[in-house]
Structure 1
Amino acid sequence: MSATTTPLSTTVPDDSGSAQRMRAAVMHGRGDVRIEERPVPTPGSGEVLLRVTRAGICGTDAGEFTHGPSMFPVERAHPVTGHHGPMVIGHEFIGDAVAAGPGAEEFTGRRFASGAGVWCGQCPWCRAGRINLCERYWTAGLSADGGLAGFVTVPATTLVEIPDASHDDAMGLAQPLAVGLHAARRSGAGPGDVVVLVGAGAIGSFILCGLAGSGAERIIALDVDPHRLATAGELGATETHDVSDRDPVALVHELTDGVGASITIEATGRDGSAQRALDTTRRGGRVLFVGLPHAPQPLDLAPTILREVEMTTTLAHVCTQDLPEAVELLRDGRIADLLLGEVIGLDDLVTRGLQPLSAGTAPGKVLVDPWR
């Protein structure tokens, strides 16, 4: 598993008509992400060209790198975008709007975070406000070329302006924080609830940011890493517990006098995690599944049915609702101070980004500055 590099090109598009080039992280297959020179994309109607200043990587990128490609359309065409073949990855990015297509000219000269997800606005789900479930939904960096590059084009509808005084390092967390806020909202957590968060890694931490204002009576974070648990406490968990050598189900029942959690949020996707989440939850409670399993998991549903436990899931974020809130929460830099690990260059993407994230050893949230 290695990265192939080519010389840095930092050319900004101009009106000369000459072909402009940029560097980009391109997935060719399992364990095969190369840093290549690519043409700078041209924005189409309603699209904006961003000069990327920060881009993040997440568990989906690491999973596709290690176990895929299964979601990335490298081996088969994406049903909506039609992309097929090597693809520029990266769906968490911010940047400066340096050019725009027809209908988006007013966006140039400003700084934006992108939600990356694109919706049609016409289907039944879009009309109901659930744009993340659009029947033609696609995501830059997951379904077509994305933002781990010098430049990326995205529809202007995916953009939220970044306040002038905000640092790029903080705002680089906007898209994953939006995902966490949506998950927290989907959990339905509110006053009086005992919420158990299983997994206080990257997505778990962003979910905690959303839970902090829910009014839940107790927020119990479970993990196997002391540093992640310490951060969880800073983010609003009322209790943290290391379950590296303890049965999490038994622990939760002990902590709740045998009743169980009113809401369990499963954010790991590990083998057996779905059943443990159900067993952790009290009668009439709810389980929110966040972490994506890499393989099917067996479930014993009879006890779940007999306790009338609800099962729900969460996907991405509602850009128009969650991304503006994320940008606002990131303005003072506190969340970034707690969650940001390091900012690396494209050349270090594999060795200091994808590989550590796959192994669970990444030192906090890793961002990439494509111009380093």
Structure 2
Amino acid sequence: MTSTANPVPTRDERLIMEAAVLHGRRDLRIETRPIPEPQHGEVLLAVKTAGVCGSDLGEFAHGPVLTPIEQRHPITGHLGPLVLGHEFSGEVVALGSAVDGFGLGQLVASGASSWCDRCSHCRRGHTNRCPHYWAVGLQRNGGLAEFVSVPAHNCFPLDESGITADAGALVQPMAIAVHTVRRASVRSGSRVLVLGAGGIGAFVVAALRSLADVGELAVCEPSSARRDTARALGASETASEHSALDGGYDTVFETSGTAAGLGAAVSLVDTGGSVVLTGIQPPGTMSTELLRQVTLRELTLIGPMACIVRTDVPDAIGVLAGRDSWHDVAPVVYPLTDIGALFVRETDTARTALKPLFAPGLHKPRKSQY
């Protein structure tokens, strides 16, 4: 390893760390792992705060789907149990070769993704469409650990923004929301509906209010607590059921990833409007009747995929910095050792945590800091 800002163990000491490792379906373990070494173009981060995404819970409950636990990933080469976590902030403690612009001890947020920077998509700026695209914590060991090594090109300093390490763990999911809003190209003064106010839905509401000149912004969400959060983030109207909404929306963001949500989105969007499929639908939900409605009512289906790190992450940092507190979204930071119990609870019962945050080395839960 290269020189460090914090005391990372030398090769003569125990080079181990604690990490949340997914071994397979419903098999998540806290294990000791070797501390990774930053390779060419990478930085080693001492993880400060890390978040849990719905895709992490999905891999635990239904996977492996995205994680290369059973088959080697063609880009990263990873095969076997994998450290989860693609939403995190950390302190730079070591630099790999050919890394410029980062200083030891610097607090950064990671956009998690990597791309080739050579293909036609990358040259046009659409790095999220790169055929060599992969993500830390999904296709390679991630940030639900004490240390993580990541490509420097997906890390962004937080010093000038003034946001904390806890807010930094919200940067990556907010960047997904920013990209979703950009893909929708919402017209000024239009009526917009967001279906679902979970982790990504809540961030879509915040991004819409920050980046788009929305007229009416409605949110449909069965949880009363999440409806309260949606209103705090800028929703002008909330409803617990699809049937309570009038319809005729110019743009509908479907964030639940359910067949019911997709059907409601198509029925509630105005003729000539757009449906943004933020939630990933399970196979077989696009019926011929829905496709018929798309044709007869001249609807536009928009599929936002991940985020364009170079443009969406800086704007996500701006959205987060524009609000004094995010306690209503992520109020508590838990010890990493509590993560197994949370995964079981959020899988076996209705999901309750809007954005769970974890910190390595923490011994008891604490209030998040913004």
Q: Same fold (TM over 0.5)?
A: yes
- Range that drifts further, 114-123 or 74-83: 74-83
Of 83, 88, 99, the match for 1:93 = 88
Could you tell me which residue of structure 1 aligns to residue 71 of structure 2? Answer: 76
1:130 and 2:120 are equivalent in the alignment: no
The corresponding residue for 1:60 is 55
Superimposed CA distance per residue, residues 276-304 of structure 1 (whole angstroms, 9 cap, x where no aligned partner): 21122111110000112344214211122
Match of 2:296 among 292, 306, 314: 306
Aligned-partner residue type, residue 114 of structure 2: V
Specify the code of the residue in structure 2 equivalent to 1:364.
Answer: L
- Pairing of 1:117-156 with structure 2 (within 5 A): 117-156=113-152
Report if aligned partners of 1:342, 1:364 keep a CA contact under 8 Å in 2.
no
Matched, 1:159 2:155: yes
Q: What amino acid maps onto 1:82 in structure 2?
A: G
Instruction: Using structure 1 for the length normalisation, give the TM-score.
Output: 0.90
Q: 1:354 to 1:161 in 2, by over 3 A?
A: farther
Instruction: Map residues 330-345 of structure 1 onto 2, 5 A cutoff.
Output: 330-331=320-321, 334-345=324-335
Contact 1:341 1:364 in 2 (8 A): no
357-366 or 110-119: which moved more? 357-366
1:348 equivalent in alignment to 2:338? yes
Structure 1 residues 52 and 358: CA distance shift in structure 2, 3 A:
farther
1:225 aligned to which of 223, 233, 245: 223
Residues in 1 aligned to 2:192 and 2:341: alpha-carbon distance in whole angstroms: 36
Identical residues among aligned pairs (%): 36
2:39 is paired with a residue whose SS is: coil
Q: State whether residues 342 and 363 of structure 1, in contact with CA within 8 Å, keep that contact through their aligned partners in structure 2.
A: no
Deviations 1:296-316 (A, max 9, x none): 214211122011100011111
In structure 2, the partner of 1:112 is: 108
Paired with 1:163 and 1:53, the residues of 2 have a C-alpha distance of: 14
Greater mean alpha carbon deviation, residues 262-271 or residues 327-336 = 327-336
Native 8 Å contact 1:264 1:286 kept in 2: yes
Q: Secondary structure of 1:79's match?
A: coil
CA contact (8 A) 1:53 1:370 kept: yes
- 1: CA distance between counterparts of 2:145 and 2:273? 44
Return the alpha-carbon distance in structure 1 between the equivalents of residues 101 and 133 of structure 2.
25
How many pairs were matched up? Answer: 352
TM superposition shift of 1:100 = 0.7
Q: Is the CA contact (8 Å cut-off) linking 1:95 and 1:113 kept in structure 2? A: yes
CA contact (8 A) 2:89 2:166 kept: no
Distance 1:262 1:16 in 2: 59
Q: 1:156 to 1:141 in 2, by over 3 A?
A: same
1:172 pairs with 2:169: yes
1:273 aligned onto 2:251: no
Structure 2 counterpart SS, 1:316 = coil
Aligned-residue Cα RMSD (Å) equals 1.8
Measured in 2, the distance between the counterparts of 1:65 and 1:306 equals 40
Q: TM-score, normalised by structure 2?
A: 0.91
1:208 aligns with 2:205: yes
Larger CA deviation: 22-31 vs 208-217: 208-217
**Deviation for aligned residue 1:125:** 0.7
- Give structure 1 stretches of 5+ with no counterpart: 1-10
SS at match of 2:327: helix
Partner of 2:368: none
Contact 1:353–1:366 under 8 Å retained in 2: no
